[in-house]
Amino acid sequence: MSNLVRKTMLRAAFTAMVLSGLSVSRADVIQPTVVLPPVDGAYTLGSVCVSAIGRCTVDAMVSGFSVVSRDVNGNESVLVNAFWSADIFTESGGLPDTFVGHVSFPGTMQFVYLGRDPSVNPLGTFPTEITDFNFQGSAFGNTFEIRQDANQMSTGSTTIVPITVVPPFTYSVSSSVEVFGEFSFNGAPFMPGPPRTATLTQIPEPGSALLAGSVLAGLIGIALRRRS
């Protein structure tokens, strides 16, 4: 492969990564309202392997927040419907091994923003508790349920601040919560899972990842044509 082709392909990969990073890896959620939790946000949970069931969850996240009820009485308590999703791998030596498939299970979550009243003090940093969550479903011939560990508290903080001073107003939301859950696999007794740091991120627009992939494919195609 010539130096020109190599440089072109490297440039293509770099361009695609930059485009993807701009649209996919945004840490904070940007939104036009002060509603919490952000409907366009997702709490990422990373990856974990559980040797007891021989499975690993990779790129797990909770997203698709839809408010069921909201109560303000000194604190703001919000019950939402949501989805827990992850890529499932077999486990080998504490590491992901063979890809099994992607799963998405429906469920509910209860957020409590301590000291927040959206009509009085919607902005600032608020201690945050996830007082309850439960997700369950079946996939690949197995059933799975994950819920809040009753013996631990899932706590963290959420910050919402304005990023514009004239209309249309927009707000930046960041949040991180240490989550303690327990799980049941195929109806077995619940087992505590390792604590996970749930970090709020912006859900990418559907076309953003496709755009980055298209740019990469197109530039690599140009490089290959130059090579030939």
Element (H, E) at 45: strand 41-50
Query: How high is the pLDDT of residue 9?
Result: 42
pLDDT tens for 122-181 read 999 999 999 999 999 999 898 999 999 999 999 999 999 999 989 999 999 999 999 999
Q: Is 213 helix (H, G, I), strand (E, B) or coil?
A: helix
Query: How high is the pLDDT of residue 204?
Result: 65
Of 212 and 55, the structure prediction assigns the larger pLDDT to: 55
Of the listed ranges 25-39, 183-197, 203-217, the least confidently predicted one is 203-217
Most confident of 48-62, 153-167, 192-206: 153-167
Query: How high is the pLDDT of residue 205?
Result: 54
Q: Burial code of 8-20, b = ≥16 C-beta within 10 A, e = fewer? A: bbeebeeebeebb
Structure tokens at 57: 């969850």
Of the listed ranges 14-18, 23-27, 199-203, the least confidently predicted one is 14-18
Of 22 and 81, the structure prediction assigns the larger pLDDT to: 81
Of 206 and 190, the structure prediction assigns the larger pLDDT to: 190
Q: Is 209 helix (H, G, I), strand (E, B) or coil?
A: helix
Domain ranges of the chain: 27-204
Is there a contact between 175 and 158 (Cβ–Cβ < 8 Å)? yes
pLDDT band of residue 8 (cuts 50, 70, 90) is: very low
Query: How high is the pLDDT of residue 24?
Result: 38
Q: What's the pTM value of the predicted model, to 2 decimals?
A: 0.77
Is there a contact between 182 and 192 (Cβ–Cβ < 8 Å)? yes
Q: What are phi and psi of 195, to 5 degrees?
A: -60, 140
